[in-house]
Amino acid sequence: MKGIELPPLTEDFTADPVELFFDLAYVFAFSQLVAFLIEHPTWAGVGKAALLFALLWLPWQQLTWAANAISGNGRPVRALFLVATVVSIPMAASTSTAFEGGGTVFALSLAGIMLIGFVMQTLGVTGDADYRQAVFTWIGPNAVAIAVLAVGSFFDGTTRLAFWLATTAIVLWAMIKASEGEWMVRVGHFAERHGLIVIIALGEVIVAIGIPVVATLQKSDGLAIATVSALLASGGFAGLLWWAYFDRPGPGLEFAASRLNTKDAGQYVRDVYTWAHAPIVAGIILSAAALEEIALHPRDPVHLEFRMMLAGGLFMFLIGVFVAVWRAFRAQARERLVGAIGIAALLFAGGSLEGVLLLTLVVVILFSVLFVEHRRVERLRREFEA
C-alpha cells in the first residue's frame, strides 16, 4: 500500500470506472428497498426502509469521501474497491430481509465495506497534506458505530432496531464533529459521484415501471392502453426528475463549492452532498414503489399508502433540492416548495381517481413547476446581465 501518488489538492479528477462498478451493487440494493416497501406499505414498513437506506448510505459515502482524497486509478485503490464490491453483493441481497433472517449478513457486509473505506481513507494522510486529525476524528466514532451495528444484528425485533438506530446517531454525531477539521475536497469528483447515485436511483424507477410490462406480457399477447399510458406517464415522471436535478441544481451546486476554501468546502460537501442528497435519492426510491403499484393497476384507484409514498417521495426529492440550493446560494427554489405541497394535496385528495389519471396530473404539475421556475430564473439572469 506504500508509494501511492496523491494528486495535488488543486487537481480534480473524474470517478474511476471501479467506482462505477461498486455502484452496481446499489442498483441491486435499491431494488430490494422498493420490494420491501411494496411488501410492507405501512408506517412501520416505511420507517424501517428509511433506516435501511440510511445504513446503505453510510458505506457509499465512506468510499466516496475516501476516493475523493486519493486517485481511484491506482492499483491498490482499485483492488480495495473490487473487494468492497464483492462484499457489497451479499449486503444488497440481504437488504429486504435485514430485519429478519438476513440481518447478520447485511450488518457484517456493511461493516466490512466501512472498514475497507477506513483503510482507503488513511492512504491519503501524508506529510504534504496532513488531514490526520480530521480523518481519525471521523474514523474513531465510526469504528464504535459499526461495532454497534454488528452486535445489534445478533438480536431480534426491537432490540436490533434500537442498536441500528444508535448506529446512525453515532455516525451523525461523527459527521458533525469531524466537519470542524480540514478535509481534502475535490469538488468535481463529489458532484459526479452524487450525480451518478441519483442516476442509479432513477434507474430503479425505470425498473419498477418495467416490471408490470413483463407481468402483463406473460399473461396476454399485448399491452392494454391503460398500461401503456401508465408507462408513458411514469417515463415522463422519471424524465422530469432528471431535469429537475441535472438542468440547473447539479451544475450550480458544483460551482458554489468551487468558490470555497478548504475548511468551508468540507462542511459544504457534508451539508449539500452527504446530507441533502440523502432525501433526494431516498425520495426517488420511495416514489418508485408507488409507480410500480400504479403501473400494475392503472385503472384502479391508488390505495392511500401508495399515494402517500408518491407524495412523500416527491416531497423529499423537491425539498432535498430546495435545501441544497439554499445552502449553496441562500436562494429559495420556492416553486419547488409550492409544487411539493400542491402535489401532496392532490395525492391525498385523489383517492377516487384512476392511477393513470392521478399520475398524469402529478406529471403536469411537476412540469408546470419546472417551467415557472425556469422562466423566473431566466428573467433574473437577464436582469443581472443588464
Q: Which residues contact 312 (CB under 8 A, 6 or more apart)?
A: 46, 283, 286
Which residue type, as a one-letter code, is found at position 306? F
What is the per-residue pLDDT for 297?
A: 87
Convert the pLDDT of each residue in 164-214 to its tens digit. Answer: 999 999 999 999 888 777 787 888 999 999 999 999 999 988 887 777 677
CB 88 within 8 Å of CB 59: yes
Q: Hunting for cell 486509478 — which residue is that?
A: 73
- Supply the pLDDT for residue 145: 96
Q: If you compute the radius of gyration of the chain from its CA atoms, what whole number of angstroms results?
A: 21
Buried-state track 75-86, b at ≥16 Cβ within 10 A, e below 16: eebbebbeebbe
Least confident range from 57-71, 118-132, 230-244, 295-309: namely 118-132
DSSP state of 354: B
pTM for the model: 0.93
Query: What's the pLDDT band for 22 if we cut at 50, 70, 90?
Result: very high
Q: Nearest Cα to 56, choosing from 83, 86, 96?
A: 96
The C-alpha atoms of residue 123 and residue 67 are separated, in whole angstroms, by 10
Q: Domain residues of the chain, as ranges?
A: 17-178, 187-385
Quote the Cα angle for 57-60-61, to 5°.
Answer: 80
- Give DSSP secondary structure letters for 100-165: TTTHHHHHHHHHHHHHHHHHHHHTT--SSS--HHHHHHHHHHHHHHHHHHHHHTTS-HHHHHHHHH
67-81 mean pLDDT: 80
Residue 63 near residue 88, CB atoms below 8 Å? no
Quote the Cα angle for 121-245-309, to 5°: 95
